[in-house]
Amino acid sequence: MYPNRLALAGLAYSLWTPAGMWLGSCIENDIRIPQEDYDVPVEPADELDAATRTDLITPELRPVDILMVVDDSCSMGDDQGRLLSFIPILIEPLEAFEVDYHIGTTTTDCDENVWCGIISWLDSDLVENLVLELTPLVQVGTGGSGAEQGSKALAYALHQAYEGGANWGFFRSGEPLEVIVITDEPDSSTDRMQTTVMYRELNDFVERLDKDVRIHVITQNDPGLVYPNPQYCWAPYTADYLDLASATGGKVQNICDANWAPVMDEIAQEFIRYQYIFLLSRLPVSGTVSVLVETDCCTVNPRDEYPEAWHYDQVKNAVVLDDFPLDIIRRVVIEYTVAGQP
C-alpha cells in the first residue's frame, strides 16, 4: 500500500536528525490512506440520512508513472540486461487491464553530471515494441561514477517535475508513482545537505502533485553475506535504500538472485489490486457490510466461490478485494447499516 503524507513527513524528520542520518558508503571507487486521496465515483441509492445505505461503485484504474533509477557504474552491465528482460513482467499486467502508464529511467551518476535526474521516458499510448524501445533507456551503459548517488538522482528528478522543468510531463498530478532503484552499491549521497534535499523534494513532490509514492529496491538485502563473494555476488549490503523501501511500502529484491520476475509481478499486481479498494460513503455499523459484484453476465456474491474474496478495512472505511478475479468486475454493490442512525 502507499504511505500517506504524514508517514513520509515522519520518515523525513527522523532521517534529517543527526541520530537518524540516512548514510551510505561507496566501496566501488498500515498505513492510513486519507479518503480524499481517492477519486472513486459513488452513486448513493438511498437518501443520505437513511439507516440502510447502498453504494454503487464502478472501478476506474488510475494511470501510473514508473521511474527506474538505474546504476550505470562499471559493474552493472549484466544487471541492466537482466532488468530489460524482466520489465515485460511488470508491464504486461498493466497492459492487460489497459492501464495508462509512463515508464522512464534516470541514472545514479551525479558526479558533476549535468544530466543527473533527467528522465528518458515512454508513453504507453505511443509504445509499439516495448522491449525494443526500452533498450536504450535501460541499458544506460557502465561509464557512470562508481560513487553511485541514487537518492540525489531521485531528488533532482523530482525537482524537475514541475512546469518548465526538464521532466515536466512525465509525472502526472494525482496519479501514483512507482520508483524502482536498481543498484549493486550503497548510496553515496551521504552529504547531509543532499540527504535533506532528497526528503524535502519527496515531501514537496507528494504535496504539490498529490502523488502516492512507493519506492522499490533491487539491491543487496542480505546483511549476512560476506563481501566480496564472487561465488555468489559482488554486491555489498545496502541498508540505506532498504529503509526507504520499508517506509514507503515498497518491495525489495536481492540483486544477486537470478530471477527478478516475482518482484516485478508483485509490483504490478499490487498496483492493480490497490485500485480495487472501494470507499464507503458513510461509516457502517460493525458487521453489517455486504458486497455483491456485477459482471457482464450477472450479479454474484463473491464469497460464494471465494470465501476470502473481500474484507472491510475499518481504518480506510473501505471494502478491499483480496481473492477475486478483478478483470470480470464491472460494478460493486456495497450495502450496510449507517452508524449513528436511530
**Whole-angstrom distance, CA of residue 24 vs CA of residue 149:** 9
pLDDT at 10: 47
pLDDT at 23: 28
Name residue, grid cell 513532490: 205
**Whole-angstrom distance, CA of residue 211 vs CA of residue 202:** 10
**Whole-angstrom distance, CA of residue 129 vs CA of residue 150:** 28
Q: Name the residue type at position 1.
A: M
User: Could you write out the DSSP letters of every residue in 273-299?
Assistant: HHTTEEE-SSPBPTT--EEEEE-SS-E
Largest alpha-carbon pair distance within the chain? 71
**Whole-angstrom distance, CA of residue 338 vs CA of residue 76:** 56
Cell of 327: 478483470
Pick the closest to residue 253 from 244, 240, 243, 264 (CA basis): 264
Q: Peptide bond preceding 44: is omega within 30 degrees of 0, i.e. cis?
A: no
CB 67 within 8 Å of CB 119? yes
Cell of 284: 457502517
**Whole-angstrom distance, CA of residue 195 vs CA of residue 276:** 35
pLDDT at 174: 86
**Whole-angstrom distance, CA of residue 122 vs CA of residue 230:** 36
Rg (CA), the chain: 22
Name residue, grid cell 533507456: 137
Pick the closest to residue 313 from 279, 274, 269 (CA basis): 279
pLDDT at 37: 43
Q: pLDDT by residue for the chain (342 residues), tens digit each?
A: 454 444 454 444 333 333 332 223 233 333 233 334 444 444 444 445 558 999 999 988 889 999 999 999 998 988 999 999 999 999 999 998 889 999 999 999 998 888 999 999 999 999 999 889 999 999 999 999 988 888 889 989 998 998 889 999 999 998 899 999 999 888 887 654 555 666 777 788 888 888 889 999 998 877 666 555 555 566 666 777 888 888 888 999 989 888 999 999 999 988 888 888 899 999 999 999 999 999 999 999 999 999 999 999 998 899 998 889 988 999 999 999 999 866
Q: What pTM, to 2 d.p., does this model score?
A: 0.76
pLDDT at 329: 93
User: Could you write out the DSSP letters of every residue in 20-38?
Assistant: G--------------GGG-
pLDDT at 309: 94
**Whole-angstrom distance, CA of residue 77 vs CA of residue 70:** 11
